[in-house]
Structure 1
Amino acid sequence: MNNFFKLIEQFRTQDEPAYCGLASLAMTLNTLNIDPRRTWKGPWRWFHEEMLDCCHPLPKVREEGITLTQAACLARCNGARVELYPYGSVGLAEFRAMVAEACHSAEEHIIVSYSRKEFLQTGDGHFSPIGGYSAKEDLVLILDTARFKYPPHWVPLEMLHNAMARIDPATGRPRGFMRMGRHPRLDSVLFTLDVRDEHWRQASRYTLEHMAGVVAAAAAAPGATAQGILTAAACGAPAAALRKFIAVRTAGSSTHGGVCIQTAAVHTFLRELRGTPLFAAC
């Protein structure tokens, strides 16, 4: 239960009935000492539920809550390292090993998305961090963020695993869990690159396989200049891919394929990029 002592310092009650996912995320982000890179109140930089609005509008969250994929998007957008495990991606034994490892190390934490119906509790879908594990009794401690309904409570690990198997009506699929930790280095404050996109892979291949040849040919041309060589290298790149793989971290974005995309900020960035002399030379 090494993770318990860090989590309990940040234990909170959700502000809205449907904010269990946001409360679990805020609690875990603060536990991991991740900098929100913006102030909360006055000079203090601290995660609060109302700050987690970059993947799903808060008015909709108040009405509908969030799905596991949206929770993972929020965690990534706010600087956490996230591993997402929909139900069925790992078996019971592997889930038990992950829980035991996280509770022992306290370097990462697990948030589960499950159905309360499995525990004969009122309500259905819910998010909570796991606050501890008893190997002797095979029990996990649920740090329930809806403390107006239930205090922290122990449940059999196998029962929790079954609770994740119940279908989420919002997605038509089972639920699951995610492991959250800190990145070994800071993310960009302004934007991140979605390296899963095919457009990014095209840009990567150009950089690794073709750009050296383009630069060499431009340098060998009569009257070659540094500006000309740089222009040739830039013009040879698949610059149109920028629209696809750049995601800027600001408020008010939407989720597309699990990726936080800031449409207005992307267009602003591209407009400024097109205004540079180098781009004009292409």
Structure 2
Amino acid sequence: MSRYSLMRVVKRVSRREWIVAVLTAILAACAPLPPAANQAADQPSHQASYPAPASGAVRPADGPLPVPPNLIALTQPAGQKRLMASAHNQSYWPLSEYFETQRNEAYCSVATSVMALNALGIRRPESTQYPDFPYFSQEDFFRSVDPQVANAARVSKEGMTLDQLGAALSAFPVEVRRFHASDLTLSQFRDLIRDTTGHSDRFALLNFRRVEIGEAGGGHWSPLAAYDAASDSALLLDVARYKYPAVWVPVTQLYAGALAVDNMSGLSRGLVIVGTRAN
């Protein structure tokens, strides 16, 4: 082989090896992180870590956490049948039309609120997201709220207590009632849920602690959309849809979750009922 031919072979091999090396580097950069690294990357600095329930919650690679065995997901046949058979499901239809996912891990109270405000059909404000269409949004929620009551920066780190959210919602043209679970008996708590979910012009916003219903996590807000007397359970439309789906929860467990003390206020959690104002 001549020297010229040999140099051409060497050049071809070098180029081929160079291409392989580049492709290998690109694929390595795109490869998923190990599970531990992913978990660390997803954990915001302000968010506390909570232990999983005693049964152990293993995160699937392609979806939310598994539903605890004491709960029934709405998407299961039994969950759907329960909704259709319930005599107290009128809150479900307007709330489901405006179902939101909280925009960050501390915005559960905000997502729950804008769902209810939009579902009530009251006059909507101008929206920065949709300039041509008035709409209540998580981005604009605090525009009408006294910053001394609550503001976006603080809520993004701490969330909102029961009394804070009640005060914040009072800035909107709605009727607001607050109920700490410690001031209610189980029967009174159940009656509030049943009576509210039987209407489409008022909604029950629940503040509870997840551990008491068998889920992983701490304090949380989500609306209740229906009540089923036969199973004595209520439908929780979880606004952390990346974590848990909508589920039916026994009322006794919801009550236990609402009785849990909020460390920020030192008071029990509970319900905020928001509805249209009487003329």
Q: Is the 8 A contact 2:127 2:137 kept in 1?
A: no
Deviations 1:175-208 (A, max 9, x none): 11111101134xxxxxxxxxxxxxxxxxxxxxxx
* Partner residue, 1:188: none
Deviations 1:81-128 (A, max 9, x none): 101101222211122112111111222110010000102322100001
* Partner residue, 1:20: 108
State the alpha-carbon separation in 1 of the partners of residues 125 and 246 from structure 2.
31
- 3-state SS in 2 of match to 1:105: coil
Residue number among 261, 265, 271 corresponding to 1:171 in the alignment: 265
Residue number among 47, 51, 56 corresponding to 2:136 in the alignment: 47
Q: CA deviation at 1:33?
A: 1.1
* Partner residue, 1:154: 248
State the alpha-carbon separation in 1 of the partners of residues 140 and 123 from structure 2.
12
Backbone CA RMSD of aligned residues: 1.2
- 3-state SS in 1 of match to 2:170: helix
Deviations 1:58-103 (A, max 9, x none): 0111111111111111211022210110122221112211211111
After TM superposition, the structure 1 = structure 2 runs for residues 196-235 of structure 1, keeping only pairs within 5 Å, are none
Q: Is the 8 A contact 2:120 2:200 kept in 1?
A: no
Matched, 1:126 2:214: no
Residue number among 205, 212, 231 corresponding to 1:111 in the alignment: 205
Residue number among 135, 144, 152 corresponding to 1:58 in the alignment: 152
Q: Is the 8 A contact 2:100 2:111 kept in 1?
A: yes
Higher strand share: 1
Residue number among 87, 95, 103 corresponding to 1:7 in the alignment: 95
Question: Where do 5+ consecutive residues of structure 1 fail to align?
Answer: 186-282
Q: CA deviation at 1:172?
A: 1.2
Q: CA deviation at 1:162?
A: 0.8
Q: CA deviation at 1:39?
A: 3.5
Q: Is the 8 A contact 1:52 1:74 kept in 2?
A: no
Letter in 2 for 1:33: G
Matched, 1:74 2:162: no
Where does structure 1 differ by over 4 angstroms across 4 or more consecutive aligned residues?
none
State the alpha-carbon separation in 2 of the partners of residues 52 and 86 from structure 1.
24
Higher relative CO (CA 8 A, sep ≥ 6), structure 1 or 2?
A: 2
Deviations 1:215-252 (A, max 9, x none): xxxxxxxxxxxxxxxxxxxxxxxxxxxxxxxxxxxxxx
- 3-state SS in 1 of match to 2:139: helix
- 3-state SS in 2 of match to 1:123: coil
- 3-state SS in 2 of match to 1:49: coil
Question: Where do 5+ consecutive residues of structure 2 fail to align?
Answer: 1-88
* Partner residue, 1:32: 120
Q: Is the 8 A contact 1:139 1:156 kept in 2?
A: yes
Higher helix share: 1
- 3-state SS in 1 of match to 2:183: coil
Identity of aligned residues (%): 29
Greater Rg by CA: 2
Q: How many residues align?
A: 185
TM-score, length of structure 1 as denominator length: 0.63
State the alpha-carbon separation in 2 of the partners of residues 92 and 30 from structure 1.
30
State the alpha-carbon separation in 2 of the partners of residues 163 and 69 from structure 1.
17
* Partner residue, 1:139: 233
